[in-house]
Amino acid sequence: MIERLAIIGVGMIGASLALALKQARAVNHVVGCGRNQLNLQKGMDLGVIDSYTASIAEAASSADVVVIATPLGAMRQVFEQIVDIVAEHTVITDTGSAKESVIKVAQTVLGEKISQFVPGHPIAGAEKSGVEAGLADLYQNRRVIITPLESTDPEAVAKIESMWQACGASIEYLGVEHHDKVLAATSHLPHMLAYGLVNYLSSLNDHDEIFKYAAGGFRDFTRIASSDPVMWRDVCISNGEALLTLIEGYKNELDQVSVAIRDGDQDRLLELFGKAKSERDSLIGNC
């Protein structure tokens, strides 16, 4: 049981965590913190949080667990405002999708309290945002990656592991660098492709008709382009090196398709598409 949980940033991820823990009876009181009072009041009305404040320090001052669910660019500000406030027993964790940048900031700001910090990343979410997007079952049968440091208190790790397990998630451990490379490929690059495709097509003269007649495949592929621009700006800055490597590699792959089309090389096109289908079907399944 978490007696008092502070969620800094009550969007979809934070709201879903609160709802899941409440449903599992694994938390006694949830205090939400953010800059948008209307969003926080809506969280109260929906029963997502039990109280709220605009003060990060106030939210963290009496919390057993502090979950930082803000965009990556806001992490430093949060750490700076809680470092002198959190008690020795308080466990701090985050939900950021790029870990190296968060850990560097935490090490700089938290000092000796870095042992209380458990870097984490739930592999869940959608293009929706705000407290009303919270889902109690969002983390059911989903993975949560934890990337603890050598200095992290094992009891703190166990606390966060138990928290996510109460939400129905399974826990996996990855090294920081490996996490960022994997997520750059599976999450960050696809978002860049979706944003780029929508921007490109919207710049064409007949873009109205393009979007008017968009079929299911287009809608499915570009759905994630409706995600929060601030969050994805921060991801690009925080995990830029890994992401740039993948973007260059993807551009080379597109060049191969372009050459095959230009040459009318049916065999090469069939080879490229067949390989992609085979890989996806074997690794992910035909769904």
Average pLDDT value over all residues in the chain:
94
pLDDT tens per residue, range 40-99: 999 999 999 999 999 999 999 999 999 999 999 999 999 999 999 999 999 999 999 999
Query: With 80 as the cut, is the pLDDT of residue 127 above it?
Result: no
Q: Domain limits of the chain?
A: 2-174, 178-283
Which residues have CB under 8 Å from 270's CB, separation 6+? none
pLDDT computed for residue 90 by the predictor: 98
Which residues have CB under 8 Å from 119's CB, separation 6+? 93, 94, 96, 99, 102, 103, 106, 146, 147, 148, 149, 176
Least confident of 150-154, 205-209, 226-230, 244-248: 205-209
Residue 147 and residue 95 in contact, taking contact as beta carbons nearer than 8 Å: no
Query: With 60 as the cut, is the pLDDT of residue 235 above it?
Result: yes
Indicate if the alpha-carbon torsion angle 13, 169, 79, 15 is positive or negative. Answer: positive
pLDDT computed for residue 286 by the predictor: 53
**Nearest partner of 75 among 88, 91, 56, judged by Cα:** 56
CATH superfamily of 178-283: 6-phosphogluconate dehydrogenase C-terminal like domain (1.10.3660.10)
Residue 176 and residue 94 in contact, taking contact as beta carbons nearer than 8 Å: no
Residue 209 vs residue 82, higher pLDDT? 82
From the centroid of its chain, how far is CA 103?
A: 15
User: 28 in helix, strand or coil?
Assistant: strand
What string of DSSP letters covers 176-241?
HHHHHHHHIIIIIHHHHHHHHHHHHHHTSTTHHHHHHT--HHHHHHHGGGGS-HHHHHHHHHHTHH
pLDDT computed for residue 212 by the predictor: 82
The H or E element that residue 172 is part of is: strand 170-173
How is the beta sheet containing 120-122 ordered, strand by strand? 120-122, 143-146, 170-173
pLDDT computed for residue 207 by the predictor: 80
* Residue tagged 């790029």 (tokens): 98
pLDDT computed for residue 249 by the predictor: 97
Average pLDDT over every residue of 99-116 = 97
Counting every residue written for the chain, the total comes to 287
Provide, rounded to the nearest whole percent, the portion of the chain with pLDDT above 70: 99
Question: φ, ψ for residue 30 (rounded to 5)?
Answer: -115, 120
Query: With 60 as the cut, is the pLDDT of residue 287 above it?
Result: no
Query: With 70 as the cut, is the pLDDT of residue 4 above it?
Result: yes
The H or E element that residue 31 is part of is: strand 27-33
CATH superfamily of 2-174: NAD(P)-binding Rossmann-like Domain (3.40.50.720)
